[in-house]
Amino acid sequence: MKQKITSLVLGSILCCSALHAQESSFEAPAKNWIKENSRNLGIPGFSGLTLSSVRKSNTGETLRFQQMIKDVPVFQSEIVVHFNKSGKISYTGTESLKKNLKETDTVPSVSASEALKKAHRASRSKGEITYEENKLFIYITDSGETKLVYRVLISSFDNPGSWETIVDAKTGDVISMKDISVKHHDKNDSLHKKKDKKVTSKKTLVTGSAYIFQPDPLSKTGSAYAGDFVDNNDATNASLDAARTLVTIPEIDFTGGIYTLKGTYAEIKEIEAPAKGIFTQSTNQFLFNRSDDGFEAVNAYWHLDNSLRYINVTLGIVCKPSQNNGVLRFDPHGFSGQDNSHYLTGSESLGFGEGGVDDAEDADVILHELGHGIHHWLAGGISNADGLSEGCGDYWAQSYSRSLNQWSTSAPEYNWMFSWDGHNSFWDGRITNTTMIYPGSGSYYDKAQIWSAALMRIYNRIGKEKTDRAFLEGLNLTTSTTNQQNAAIAVRQAGIDMLGQFGFNCNDITAMTEEFTAAGYVLPEYSCTLGTKETVKQNPVSVYPNPVSDVLIVLLKGNKEEKAEIYNMEGRKVMETTIRNNSNRIDVSNLPSGNYILTVKEINLSAKFIKK
C-alpha cells in the first residue's frame, strides 16, 4: 500500500510522514535548520524532505530526512541532523543530497511487473530466487539526467550476487545493471564442491559446543603459511587440528530433536551455490575438523554471533539487519565455490566462497564481511567508491583479531588482514599500517587501507572498546554516499558527543584528531576543556563539502561582509573574495588539485580543505 505524505508549513522544502520514523522532540529544530540553510544547500523548490528515521543512541539523537519528489524518494539522497545529549546540533550530513535534480513526472508508464521481467533477463537470474525487491525512485544517471526508474534487486541461487538493475519507468529501457554485493577482494577463482540436501528448522534456543579457529590456525600457533599449515585442498592434519579452540555456543536452535545453527543474531541458510545443506544434527556438539564442511558452518556462526552479541549486548548499540527480523543469514559454502566472499546488500546476508583457503575458516574474512553489514545497517546504505566500506570491514576484523594478542607488534602479521585466507599463493591479502595518505591512489581496495590504518592507530592509543564505540556511533551519523573524509569527522564527533561517558576524555579526542589528520583527513577545529564536566567548543562556522570539486560553501551567521582568502600549502595566496550569509559560495573549480587553507580573519576562521 502506498504511504501518504502530508505537506507541512515549510511547503516545498519540508514534508513529514510516518515513513518508519519514530517521533522526536528534535524534529522541529531539525526542520528549522534545514529551512534556514535550504538556499545554501541547493534544495530544489519542487522537491521535499521527509523524516524517514530517528535513532537514539549514546551520542544523542540522529534524524534522517529523505529527499522526495512528490511521493517518490530520490535515490541515495538524504540529510542527517544529529543532536548531542545537550540537545544541540553537533553534526549535519548533507553530502548525499542531490542538487542537480530536474523536475520530472512521477507516474510510471511501464508496470512494475514488466520492469521485474526485464531485470531478471538483464541480470541472468538462475535457479531459485533467494531475494527480490522492486522499488520506484527518482534517479540521476551517469550523464546527469533525472529519470523516474524502477530499482530492482535480485539474488538467485545459481548466479550469486546482489544484482541491481535500473529500469526506466517511462520507456522500459535498462539504464544499468551491476552486482552491488560487496566483496573482500577482487580475485574470482572457481572451485566447486559436492552438493547436499537443504534442511529447515524453527527456533527454540539452547547452548552447545564447537571447535573453531580463533581467529585462524596461523595466528593461534604463530606459524607461517608453509608445511602443515598450507591449505592442501581443505585436508586436515594433526597441526591444524591442534590449532582449533573449543568454545561454547550461546544459542542453538533445538526443535524436534534437531540442533541447527540459528539464534538471536545469526542463522545458517542456503543462499547460493553450491548446495551443501545447513548441517543439522542430533547433538549440540559441533566438533568438526577443517576437512568437514560443517567446520566452516560452525566457525562462521560462532564468530558472527559473538561479534553481534558484543555490539548489541556488551556495547549496547543496536546494530542488526532490517531483513529476516534482525537475524543475519549466512551461507558458509556460497559464491559458487569461488575464491571470494560477499555481503549481499539486498537480502542483507553473507555468502562465503571456498576457493583456496575456505573463506569461512578465517575469522578475518567472516568479520570483514560482517563489517560491510554493520556499515550498511548504521549508515542506511553502502557506497564503496572511496573504499570506506572495505576499510570498515578491515577495521572490524582487525579490531577483534588484534585483541587476542597473538602477534608481537614487531611481527608483519600484527598488521595483516586475512592472515590465513590471504598472504599466500592464492592472493596477497591487505594490511592495516599503510603509509598512504588520503585521498590516496589505486583501487578502492588500496584506498580502504588508509581508513583501517587510521582507526587501528587510534585503537592502539585509546583502546579497543572506545575506538569500536566511536566507529559504530560515527557510522550512525553518515549516509550511504559518505566518503572517508566525512566519515572521519563523524567518528570523531561521536567521540566528542560521548565525552564523560564510557571513559572518553579530551586526550582521546586529541588522539583521534592527530591520527585522522596524519592520515590526510581534514577535521573542523575544536577545543576541549578538562574540568568537572568535559566540554567541547567548536567553531560555529561550517565549511563544506570537503573534498570539494567546484563550489565551496561557508555557513556563517549575520549579513556582514567578510573578506575570505585562500592559500596553498606553500603559504601563497591563490584567491581572494568576499562572503556573507546570503552570498557564501566560493567557486574553486579553477584551482589545481591539492590542499588549501581558507581564512576569514574577522571571525578567526582558518579551515583546511582538499580540492579534488
What's the CATH code of the domain at 121? 3.10.450.40
Domain count of the chain?
5
Question: Does residue 215 share a domain with residue 361?
Answer: yes
* 12, pLDDT greater than 60: no
CA atoms in the 13 A half-sphere facing the CB of 27: 19
| Residue 550 pLDDT class (50, 70, 90 cuts) | confident
Domain boundary residue, one of 165, 180, 195: 180
Residue 45: inside a domain, yes or no? Answer: yes
Question: What pLDDT, on a 0 to 100 scale, did the predictor assign at position 540?
Answer: 52
3 CB neighbour count, 10 Å cutoff: 10
Question: Does residue 480 share a domain with residue 337?
Answer: no
Question: Does residue 209 share a domain with residue 309?
Answer: yes
CA atoms in the 13 A half-sphere facing the CB of 474: 25
Helix, coil or strand: residue 249: strand
Question: Does residue 365 share a domain with residue 228?
Answer: yes
121-149 in b/e form (b: 16+ CB < 10 A) is ebbebeeeebbbebebbbbbeeeeebbbb
Question: Does residue 553 share a domain with residue 509?
Answer: no
Residue 287: inside a domain, yes or no? Answer: yes
What are 445-473's pLDDT values in tens digits?
999 999 999 999 999 999 999 999 999 99
Question: What pLDDT, on a 0 to 100 scale, did the predictor assign at position 557?
Answer: 62
Residue 1: inside a domain, yes or no? Answer: no
High-pLDDT (> 70) share of the chain, % = 90
Question: Does residue 161 share a domain with residue 59?
Answer: no
Question: Does residue 361 share a domain with residue 212?
Answer: yes
Higher pLDDT, 557 or 95: 95
28 CB neighbour count, 10 Å cutoff: 9
Question: What pLDDT, on a 0 to 100 scale, did the predictor assign at position 17?
Answer: 35
Contact in structure between 295 and 361 (CB atoms under 8 Å) = yes
High-pLDDT (> 90) share of the chain, % = 76
The domain in which residue 153 lies consists of 112-180
| 434 Cβ contact list (under 8 Å, min separation 6) | 449, 450, 453
Question: Does residue 351 share a domain with residue 212?
Answer: yes
| Residue 11 pLDDT class (50, 70, 90 cuts) | very low
CA atoms in the 13 A half-sphere facing the CB of 238: 0
Question: Does residue 552 share a domain with residue 522?
Answer: no
> How many Å apart are CA 397 and CA 408, to the nearest integer?
18
| Residue 197 pLDDT class (50, 70, 90 cuts) | very low
Contact in structure between 482 and 490 (CB atoms under 8 Å) = yes
Question: What pLDDT, on a 0 to 100 scale, did the predictor assign at position 203?
Answer: 52
Question: Does residue 508 share a domain with residue 486?
Answer: yes
Domain boundary residue, one of 506, 534, 562: 534
What are 295-329's pLDDT values in tens digits?
999 999 999 999 999 999 999 999 999 999 999 99
Question: Does residue 223 share a domain with residue 352?
Answer: yes
Note the helical H segments in 288-362. 293-309
Average pLDDT, the chain: 89
Residue 397: inside a domain, yes or no? Answer: no
Question: What pLDDT, on a 0 to 100 scale, did the predictor assign at position 529?
Answer: 67
Least confident of 277-286, 419-428, 553-562, 575-584: 553-562
For residue 354, what is the domain's CATH number? 3.10.170.10
**Mean per-residue pLDDT, 30-37:** 93
* 411, pLDDT greater than 70: yes
The amino acid sitting at 184 is: H
Question: Does residue 516 share a domain with residue 553?
Answer: no
Domain boundary residue, one of 32, 63, 93: 93
Residue 389: inside a domain, yes or no? Answer: no
How far apart, in Å, are the Cα atoms of 69 and each of 8, 31, 90, 102, 109? 15, 17, 28, 10, 17
Higher pLDDT, 526 or 445: 445
Residue 502: inside a domain, yes or no? Answer: yes
